[in-house]
Structure 1
């Protein structure tokens, strides 16, 4: 079980379904949901308290600031966040280029397709232990 998960997605139904899967699996003590990357960044304390989330489930296609923009904001902090924070792309995108682009971000530990399911949670657990 992880302490805290952020779900960042502009689709309320996806947030609801993802939260439901996480809750039913007892995956996290705390689930924080955000409908925009900016809202999540406002709560994400990169330099001190409150504690960082263990896992971020990040949608790519969002208005204003998309998932790539969110990851770009984290770039200067990658070294400090490595091993403390794992980002998993959770998207409906089937573009191979998106999966390839995710490899350019060291904090991204995996690329998952919506909807989140038990197999995805098992993958997240393996990836966090270094066995994707």
Structure 2
């Protein structure tokens, strides 16, 4: 079980379903949901010593600031964040180029397709423990 998960997705139904799977699996003590990358960034303690989320489930295709924009914003902080939080792309995209592009971000530990399910949670657990 992880302490905190951020879900960043502009689709309320997707957030609801993802939260439901996380809750039913007892995956996290705390689940924080954001419908915009900017709102999540505002809550992410990049400079303070406040606790970070263990896992971020990030949608790629969002208006205003995409998942890629979110990851680009974290670029200057990657060294400080590496090993403290893991980002998993959770998307409906089936584009191989998106999966390939995600590998250029050191904080991204995996690429998952919606909807989140128990198999995806098992993958996240293995990836966080270095066995994916």
- Superposition TM-score, scaled by structure 1 size: 0.99
The structural deviation recorded for 1:50 is: 2.9
Post-superposition Cα deviations, 1:77-124, rounded to whole Å, max 9, x if no partner, equal: 001100000000000000000000000000000000000000000000
Work out whether 1:74 is the aligned partner of 2:53: no
Q: 1:113-124 maps to which residues of 2 (within 5 A)?
A: 113-124=113-124
**Match for residue 103 of structure 1?**
103
The structural deviation recorded for 1:47 is: 1.5
**Match for residue 61 of structure 2?**
61
**Match for residue 18 of structure 1?**
18
Post-superposition Cα deviations, 1:50-94, rounded to whole Å, max 9, x if no partner, equal: 310000000000000000000000000001100000000000000
| Count of paired positions | 132
Structure 1's consecutive aligned runs of 4 or more residues displaced over 3 angstroms after TM superposition are none
Root mean square deviation of aligned Cα: 0.5
Unmatched segments (≥5 aa) in structure 1 = none
Unmatched segments (≥5 aa) in structure 2 = none
2:3 match: secondary structure: strand
Work out whether 1:92 is the aligned partner of 2:56: no
